[in-house]
Amino acid sequence: MQKLGVFVCHCGTNIAATVDVKAVAEALGREPSVVVSTDYPYMCSESGQNLIKDAIREHSLDGVVICSCSPRMHENTFRKAAAQAGLNPYMVEIANIREQCSWIHKDREEATEKAIVLGRAAIAKVLLNTPLTAGESPVTKRALVIGGGIAGIQTALDIAEAGFPVDIVEKEPTIGGKMAQLDKTFPTLDCAACILTPKMVDCAQNENIRILSFSEVEEVTGFVGNFTAKIRRKARYVDETKCTGCGLCTEKCPVKKVPNEFNLGMDNRRAVYIPFAQAVPKVARIDPDWCNMLKNGKCGLCSKVCTVGAIDYKQTDTVLEEHYGAIVAATGYEPIKVDRYGEYAYAQSKDVITSLEFERLTNAAGPTSGTLLRPSDGRHPHTIVFIQCVGSRCTPEMGKTYCSKICCMYTAKHAMLTREKYPDTDVYVFYIDVRTPGKNFDEFYRRAAEEYGVHYIKGAVGKVMPRADGTLDVQASDLIMNEQLHINADLVVLAAAIEPSKTARRLATMLTASMDTNDFFTEAHPKLRPVESPTAGIFLSGVCQGPKDIPETVSQASACAAKVIGLLSKNKLTGNPCVAHSDEWMCNGCSNCASVCPYGAITYLDKDFRMPDRSTKTRRVASVNPAVCQGCGACTVACPSGAMDLYGFSNSQIMAEVDAICK
Amino acid sequence: MKFAYYPGCTLKNRAKALDRTARETAALLGIEFEEIPEWQCCGGAYTSAKDEIATKLASVRALAAGRQIGDGRVVTVCSACYNVLKQTNHEFAVNPDFDFKVNNYLKGEPEYHGEGGVVHYLELLRDEVGFDELKKRVTRPLTGKKIAAYYGCLLLRPSSVLAFDDPENPAVMEDFIRALGAEPVLYSMRNECCGGYLTLTDRETAKRRSAAVKESAREMGADYMITACPLCLYNLTKNTDEPIPVRYFTEVLADALGLGGE
């Protein structure tokens, strides 16, 4: 006869207010096998844990049932406590009477009854538990950072500083990301390039960092500590090891009319180009869509002028395979397409631009060398209207429901800088709310409004329409004055919502990392584990997890690095013993289990079996790699013969729980 | 091509030109309009009342009668009728309670459950005739004319129900103008309200709205304006001093097809 202990937690009033905890303890105490049953205000507290430990020792308990919060919260706490008292940690079962009972019910009597039933189910299960021992696996001491913007750069630098090798995989020809395109940064107004490019150079010079630019991750297999990634190194038609970045080829290239993506198409580059002056690596790339030599074999000028022979028209994609212990997603964001908001006439007028385009128009390295000029006629704009929340805080049909978080501040920055450089310019900002939580942020916004005389108008712009004289008619409502306004603007700037990079969804599938409905990566816990994905060994850095400004991105990137360093510092990882196994005598090798396994943990072996008639028969049977299996249980459901079973969650245990509930 | 035709009240008195030119141009383009027998007023502005059933019955009767003609779709040329009929028909698809109540009212008449449809004459020209084909049929192209299309509000909104064109940046009338050989004029007020029924209760506001619309069209160099809505035409002509003429799109179409005396 096994001896069980039952411990009912009040969780302050979280449980006790709705569930009669004393009645639960009493009722469960009457179950066969239960030798001790008690309640306590906070079972997770040290004294609560001591209560459990003492009971285990005093009554020589074989199993423990804790009626408390979700096992996601404190299962580990209680398992550790049990282990300290000498009980196998897998002999602990949690009955979730908080999230699945007290929080969702109102009627005390019914909730108490349900809590008792849930407790009974846990007792039925723990009676069938067997002691389990977790296996160990080694850790590959190398990290992969996917994305080379400020988030990826900071994470990589911190990991490298701790002494671990890091690979940065960046899909563009250079690292730097969006921050490289910005002019100044709020609230201190230091120049983005001045603070970013030293970090880019640090990456290039750090011997622990390898930059794999113009590359994309194609496939990821394995598990925490033991990932294998296939990385496609896209052909740039320039030998990275030979190119010195002198730029001679980019001057001689005869194809001059290629829209320059770094300046958002507002000026042109050549078919062979270096994205921008401070690019890292400073290596040219030939654009095969425009290069005459690659398109029709006529030209070859760049090859002739290159003094080091770096041009290679025959270069092809290569695929690199590398092992990693941890993977960081730092895929960043894109501004949404604003063409769909027809009322703002973005597609109709060159003088309706996005905020990122405005950044380029005010940047010294931009298409106008930093002088703010209207794209349509190159004249200085005298009235500028900024429209905030374009696609943010919107209905799901028309845009993003979330706040993009950075737009209020960068619009204040744009407005302030415009007024400072061009005091003869009238600047209007239309807003829903001005949101400025952050150190020195509200002071910054107030300076824009009060000292710099930016006209902040609470209200929505209904329509922007080009007029005959080349100006833009901005029709808007002022919600405070309750007036309809028409403003004759020379330039309209749209603060477009930001959304996760389009590459993120594919990556999430590859990493089996979860995402929310907006395609932001989900963190393991919104407050307590904000830089980890729920999938072990996958970490999150920067805007791929949610909208963030630069200070916040950098903090999160460093936090993420700390978590990666913590993982890579370990020599061995303790696995989860609750994994699948196949009963080889029952398995008929049908392959159903392998086809449903999301982790590729199941293989098939030909094994010799001694048959009852003493003959030997070779049969094909499933075999689970316990290091890869995550214990999801998909195979146990798919198996037609019932050969697949999960340690800690066996079919018989689950049936026992169901029976106890239905009794 | 044969369609049920729903003229609406205004087309029988104030907007006779709209009715006549719509029928004539359709006939020339090979579209047969069969007027729904014994049609009644669509309900006009009254149908905006949310929980009202009775005011929508006339629309339902028109839709029910229309389904027996041609492919069952009812053609209108008036923006307001189009809006009311289409919204009423849509209600059957999304609101079973409406369906139930309406059919209780209609006891003794054939049941109706939204199986018909509503289409604007402009939609017919765009989707059934095709603007490319229309261009070929034009005998007197309006070359050199700058025409400002005025959409007003009822033709486009609510866009999720009417699904006529992009409510913020519509193109159908501009494409229509191009098909007739003229040059469309884009101006900021083309899909703003003319003042609508406010002309009855607050004429000053209606005047301001209409003036703003016409001023915006004039500023962009329009020779004249076209509309599909009799109320818009009324407001734009009676409530402003702006001299730009306003015509029904069907009148312009009749000109281009060689029907008018111009």
- Cβ atoms < 10 Å from Cβ of A595: 11
What is the DSSP code (8-state) at residue A262?
G
What is the pLDDT at residue A137? 87
pLDDT digits (tens, 9 = 90+) for A354-366: 999 999 999 999 9
Determine the residue type at A459. G
Chain A residues whose CB is inside 8 A of the B221 CB are: 468
* Per-window interface: A 193-232 vs B, CB < 8 A: none
pLDDT top residue among A514 and A65: A65
What is the pLDDT at residue A222? 86
Using CA coordinates, name the residue in chain A closest to B212. Answer: A486
Is A488 within 8 Å of chain B by CB? Answer: no
What is the pLDDT at residue A72? 84
pLDDT digits (tens, 9 = 90+) for B4-17: 999 998 999 889 99
What is the DSSP code (8-state) at residue A523?
P
Chain B residues whose CB is inside 8 A of the A343 CB are: 168-169
Encode A363-419 in three state secondary structure. Answer: CCCCCCCCCCCCCCCCCCCCEEEEEEEECCCCCCCCCCCCCCCCHHHHHHHHHHHHH
What is the pLDDT at residue B38? 87
pLDDT digits (tens, 9 = 90+) for A532-587: 998 889 999 999 999 999 999 999 999 999 999 999 999 999 888 999 999 999 99
Predicted TM-score (pTM) of this structure: 0.82
pLDDT surpassing 50 at residue B262: no
Q: What's the Cα-to-Cα distance from B182 to each of A650, B66, B91, B174, rounded to whole Å?
A: 77, 34, 38, 9
pLDDT digits (tens, 9 = 90+) for A452-461: 999 999 999 9
Using CA coordinates, name the residue in chain B closest to A398. Answer: B160
Chain A residues whose CB is inside 8 A of the B169 CB are: 342-343, 345, 347-348
pLDDT category, A506, cuts 50, 70, 90?
A: very high
**Which value does ipTM take for this structure?**
0.74
What is the pLDDT at residue B49? 67
Tell me what the mean pLDDT of segment A36-51 comes to.
96
The phi-psi region of residue A299 (left if phi > 0; otherwise alpha if psi is between -120 and 50; otherwise beta) is left
List of domains in chain B: 2-122 (1.20.1050.140), 138-256 (3.40.50.11810)
Q: What's the Cα-to-Cα distance from A46 to each of A41, A50, A67, A77, B30, rounded to whole Å?
A: 12, 6, 17, 10, 88
Token pair belonging to A97: 């009477």
Token pair belonging to B72: 């069952």
Chain B residues whose CB is inside 8 A of the A345 CB are: 169
Cβ distance of A468 and B220 shorter than 8 Å: yes
pLDDT surpassing 90 at residue A512: no
Which of A342, A347, A473 is facing B188, going by the closest CB pair?
A: A473
Tell me what the mean pLDDT of segment A441-462 comes to.
96
- Residue B193 phi, psi dihedral angles, 5° rounding: -75, 140
Percent of chain A with pLDDT over 90: 90
pLDDT digits (tens, 9 = 90+) for A105-137: 999 999 999 999 999 999 999 999 999 998 888
CB A201 within 8 A of CB A424: no
Using CA coordinates, name the residue in chain A closest to B219. Answer: A468
Is A33 within 8 Å of chain B by CB? Answer: no
pLDDT digits (tens, 9 = 90+) for B32-62: 999 998 898 887 766 566 667 888 888 999 9
Å between B170 CA and nearest CA of chain A: 9
Percent of chain A with pLDDT over 70: 100
What is the DSSP code (8-state) at residue A34?
E
Chain A residues whose CB is inside 8 A of the B187 CB are: 465
What is the pLDDT at residue A223? 86
Which of B169, B220, B221 is facing A342, going by the closest CB pair?
A: B169
Q: Determine the angle formed by the axes of helices A46-59 and A71-84, rounding to 10 degrees.
A: 50
The rounded distance, in Å, linking the Cα atoms of B221 and B215 is: 10
Q: What's the Cα-to-Cα distance from A643 to each of A129, A590, A602, rounded to whole Å?
A: 18, 11, 13
Cβ distance of B187 and A465 shorter than 8 Å: yes
Average pLDDT, chain B: 91
pLDDT category, A153, cuts 50, 70, 90?
A: very high
Which of A124, A133, A23 lies closest to A65, judged by CA? A124
Chain A residues whose CB is inside 8 A of the B168 CB are: 341-343, 463
Which of A342, A466, A473 is facing B168, going by the closest CB pair?
A: A342
Å between B66 CA and nearest CA of chain A: 33
For residue A281, whether the previous peptide bond is cis, meaning omega lies within 30 degrees of 0, is yes
Tell me what the mean pLDDT of segment B163-182 comes to.
93
CA A193 and chain centroid, separation: 25
Q: In what order do the strands lie in the sheet with B32-35?
A: B32-35, B2-5, B73-76, B117-120
Which of A341, A463, A468 is facing B221, going by the closest CB pair?
A: A468
Q: What's the Cα-to-Cα distance from A501 to each of A149, A180, A263, B261, rounded to whole Å?
A: 12, 16, 19, 60
The rounded distance, in Å, linking the Cα atoms of A116 and A19 is: 10
Determine the residue type at A327. I
Using CA coordinates, name the residue in chain A closest to B169. Answer: A342
Cβ distance of B220 and A467 shorter than 8 Å: yes
Average pLDDT, chain A: 95
Token pair belonging to A424: 């003869």
Which of A341, A342, A465 is facing B188, going by the closest CB pair?
A: A465
What is the pLDDT at residue B46? 65
List of domains in chain A: 4-126 (3.40.50), 143-234+317-332+501-568 (3.50.50.60), 248-305 (no CATH), 338-493 (3.50.50.60), 580-647 (3.30.70.3270)
